[in-house]
A and B are shown apart, each in its own frame.
Chain A
């Protein structure tokens, strides 16, 4: 069926607003701070075969992969046998998922008895069981990271609201009020998506809505191809390293080779180090998502809808058994770290092709920090995702103190933490002066957050990176700075490694620091007024400025 261009424009925008409404209501009716404050969840409308059409722009990492996660369900079941009462649930990293904490729900959308699409939602859940509350840093395998949901077809009437799936999940999570409430928010988001798409179909006809779903993917494909074609053909290579695997001190190398040929692009991670024994392994779906996010951010304009059409001109090859495509049953919880290095390596390769469109390295780590305490009324689990400084680019300084590019988690307000947790308190939350790399444009500043522990028996778990290595600059800029996690106990300061778990005592001060981003271009080209403003605002010491910026010395000498 051909659609007239105006119906197409109207219906495609309406589908985008359906996804946006789903995402907004998923967040606003959620219970856990990780979903309602940090907004670590996403929503989408898929076509009848499960290809992504429209998404709520929340978390790039989840958005890049909703469609491919769906395909695992499509492979396990006959879609044509699905009824309105049924839905798919999945979180298994070894059959298409990312990590266990991200649970995906897909509900079919029927119009006049025909399935015309799916409503999809995904949320990062606070705790899904596993070896430790919230975060199992020392997991031996994927089984010790939590409950695994393979691609599973469930029935709303039979399996939820007291049914087997709901009861099983409730019994396996440590904070059931928050987690089960968040599952309900996911289901409600999907119901909203179903209703809104049905309303569109009632108005324009189901066939027209389906035709627009297809045309909208073609549209993103066209725009992606135009973006790729505008970049010079060639073979480009980039590398990045992780600090270590959490057991030894050996850095882990990730290699990316980008081939641009006309309007097609190939990313090959050949040469990347093998999988590791710790949770740093990144399942294939997450690497595809990281890679696509990089290509989209660099080569296309931000307004292009991220849907299945965008994936068509891009191929990604990842060696099996590498840290970017591990074999079962390797643990995968901290997948984001390797994904960031894949993002960095691909960005560095693209920097040779389109130097004006890339940015330098940022802190570019997902730091997952988890404080947990078993109190008299059950587990209290606090989990927060931290970014750092962004890398600088050709047009601008890097963004200060913000979540890293593949994620977009908000912070949990200190006043929300004060309401929800009694075993610790945030004592400071501040930008870190002198934490960015210098350059024609400087990197974004890092920041710190410090927690006072108010009860004995609490634990801290974390994973992060760039505790040893730093963000890498581009075109003559300076590197970023490292992060750290310290326990201040009386006069003693205990430095934790970037992947760690430790017991805490009442009175401890846990201090997280997140490094700044790297600079872009020669510092000698930076505008003196900007340098002076950073000094006046206390973001840069005069000593640091004098040693980094020759133009300041000349001005001082004169």
Chain B
């Protein structure tokens, strides 16, 4: 049996696949001790834990530790003169018109920041030597007195020459056994000292928390007889054996959204769909990610709570538009959706738990796309009257009927999601019409066709059980790691040789690491060069063809870069303008043994054949299907609803639905 357990903010989801059998469950998350929820979910899965061969885990433990400031007490050590870099930050403001602006608060206090005398220059040459023993001796009393669980080190220029940093790290580990010591070179090798220092401190801050958590969890499952492979999801969409993760906790930071993307990619692959836009709409927000040829975009430029993180993560954009997002009218009379949300408590007005403010979920209830008897398999009572009452003030102010106001709110939510998708597609030089939209999360399938319509997308692929796709993504994921290195040179006649040497070097490191993890077998490689025109500061990622690596020369590299630059920035430089490679990224994957089956969980109840919906232009009739009962290869025309255990799919007019042999539901837009 293969089991994935995903801890989310509200629910902990479990997907277990055993040959043709599939089991799903959702239990409430237990934020104070997330492992309790995990064990509860596992206790409900069929059979003893000893039957699980492959257990994969994803959680928000690292994210929450940072957002709620519940990480370890850490110290920060840097080059003399730069103790304050975490507080100086970039000297700018994220909101330029806010007079009461405060910078994002670092996870370390100024009193816990220390300096060592040393300095290297941008070529990696030592300008001031490091007397490692003397410096550590000097700092030791304070480091001991501080009661730190971890130490983060980021020295200037360590991205080009990490020798001092490594010496310091080794000496601190020797003198302070039991304390985690993270060097910046372990987590990020990019220039810009504030961003690298921020990443290093965040890594050190979550390291002891993740280590203790994974230790606790693996002991608990072992005690219950589990003896299989235990691995953990990373932010880059691949998993690592839990032992590897305990040494590199920062890699788990955005693992939740990444798991969903992987689930979408794998399950859509079965229908031959490789170009897709993953669209995950949950209770408070929507995450979107562009996937080309089965490979999600990677970004090394993210933030958490306003603090920069420079490790490779899936390029996911988040917008504050979820089922619980509030619908409101601002003081200038403009209709708005989000970013505030009704949260888990009180929740949307229709939940009847005291909420009176209108939300997107209430708008669906008014429109009829959420039917009270079908919501969460009928497990929760929905108050249609309360949804109407919540929308009444908005309808009055806009001079519309209540259904028209609800439809307007849904259109606006769609517009917000469309903007997020444009950030990952058009702004990166990609046309969304070349992609299929893949909705998941509880609220995604309800709006998918309308989002697709706005973007000119004509195909929507809905996987089985879209409400728990992330948990499926866990067991469907490959083992992976991304290796990055800074290596700056001008593109010239030697470039082909230099690239081949760099690849050989990185490949060797990767093969050694995977062997250490006990992961034999074939490895897949993708090599990216980070390139720019000489004088620029931000790089464009350019994929280099590994199958033609032996023939790669300056002309091929130049042509690939210029095309990528023009696609994004609308200009291609001057002929013969000097081009630089700044670094390489090697994405390494060990494919998962086989892809588990995935099919819709039976609903176990009859559904109405028809329902009445009310849209902007008045009410209309729609057919209602039960997802598990949809026959294969038969086409049905919208408007219709297809209800499943974890979510409802809305197929509007001009769209039709077919379930294919891979259990995916394909929506197609009628040609105009």
Contact = CB atoms under 8 A, between A and B. Distances in A.
Given A9-B335, A10-B412, A29-B571, A431 B122 contact: no
Contact of A537 (B110, B121, B398, B415): B110
A302 B98 CA distance: 6
A487 to B, nearest CB: 18
A1 interface: no
B97 A428 contact: no
The secondary-structure label for the interface of chain B is: loop
B427 A402 contact: no
Interface string A220-261: 101100100000000000000000000000000000000000
B100 A536 contact: no
B415 A9 contact: yes
Contacts of A425: 121, 127
B96 A408 contact: yes
Interface in B84-112: 84-85, 87-88, 90-93, 95-103, 109-111
Interface stretch (A177-185, A371-379, A465-473): A177-185
Interface in B164-195: 191-194
Interface in B503-519: none
A247 to B, nearest CB: 30
B81 A427 contact: yes
B79 to A, nearest CB: 9
Interface in B381-435: 398, 408, 411-412, 415-416, 419, 422-423, 426-427
Contacts of A409: 91-92
A415 B571 contact: no
Interface string A280-319: 0000000000000100111001101010000000000000
A339 to B, nearest CB: 15
Interface string A303-342: 0101000000000000000000000000000000000000
B333 A416 contact: no
Contacts of B97: 57, 60, 293, 296-297, 302, 306
A358 B100 CA distance: 9
A210 interface: no
Interface stretch (A30-38, A71-79, A87-95): A30-38
Contacts of A427: 81
B331 interface: yes
Interface string B42-69: 0000000000000000000000000000
A303 to B, nearest CB: 8
Given A223-B332, A302-B98, A195 B88 contact: no
A197 interface: no
Most B C-beta atoms less than 10 A away, residue of A28, A184, A414, A416: A414
Nearest to A4: B408
Contacts of A393: 99-100
A430 B81 contact: yes
B570 interface: yes
A306 B96 CA distance: 11
A188 B192 CA distance: 26
Given A31-B536, A191-B570, A396-B102, A414 B156 contact: yes
Contact of B110 (A13, A185, A538): A538
A9 B336 contact: yes
Contacts of A12: 334
B321 to A, nearest CB: 12
Contact of B569 (A28, A401, A414): A28
Nearest to A230: B331
A5 B394 CA distance: 12
Contacts of A13: 415-416, 419
Contacts of B569: 25, 28-29, 185, 188, 192
Given A402-B101, A402-B103, A538-B110, A413 B96 contact: no
Interface string A415-430: 1101100000111111
A357 to B, nearest CB: 8
Interface residues of A, number: 87
Contacts of A428: 80-82
B69 to A, nearest CB: 15
Contact of A405 (B88, B99, B191, B535): B99
B110 A418 contact: no
B408 A415 contact: no
Interface in B472-505: none
Interface in B124-141: 127
Interface string A253-286: 0000000000000000000000000000000000
B608 interface: no
Interface string B191-204: 11110000000000
Nearest to A175: B535
A178 B535 contact: yes
Given A399-B103, A538-B110, A429 B332 contact: no
Contacts, number: 200
Interface in A1-44: 5-6, 8-10, 12-14, 17, 21, 25, 27-31, 33, 36-37, 39
B88 A431 contact: yes
B164 to A, nearest CB: 14
A359 interface: yes
Contacts of A165: none
Contacts of B645: none
A31 B535 contact: yes
A539 interface: yes
A418 B121 contact: yes
A133 to B, nearest CB: 17
B109 to A, nearest CB: 6
Nearest to A391: B99
Contacts of A118: none
B379 interface: no
Interface string A183-209: 011011001100110000000000000
B83 interface: yes
B142 to A, nearest CB: 13
Nearest to B488: A419
A400 B334 CA distance: 35
A536 B111 CA distance: 6
B191 A416 contact: yes
A88 B330 CA distance: 36
Given A413-B191, A538-B110, A10 B159 contact: no
A416 B537 contact: yes
Contact of A29 (B92, B99, B536): B536
Given A21-B427, A188-B570, A415 B535 contact: no
A411 interface: yes
B614 interface: no
A416 B90 contact: no
Contacts of A28: 538, 569
Given A36-B536, A402-B103, A403-B92, A17 B419 contact: yes
Given A25-B569, A181-B535, A396-B102, A408 B92 contact: yes
B664 interface: no
B93 A177 contact: no
A110 interface: no
Given A5-B398, A402-B92, A537-B109, A184 B571 contact: yes
A410 interface: yes
Contact of B570 (A192, A220, A403): A192
B157 interface: yes
A478 interface: no
B331 A223 contact: yes
B226 interface: no
10 contacts: A306-B97, A359-B99, A390-B99, A403-B93, A408-B92, A418-B121, A418-B157, A419-B191, A537-B110, A538-B110
Top-10 shortest CB links A-B: A428-B81, A418-B122, A537-B110, A411-B91, A31-B535, A223-B332, A10-B415, A410-B90, A302-B97, A188-B571
Given A192-B570, A296-B97, A430-B83, 17 more contacts: A6-B411, A13-B416, A14-B415, A25-B570, A181-B535, A185-B571, A222-B333, A302-B95, A304-B332, A401-B88, A415-B122, A416-B191, A418-B122, A426-B81, A431-B110, A447-B84, A537-B110
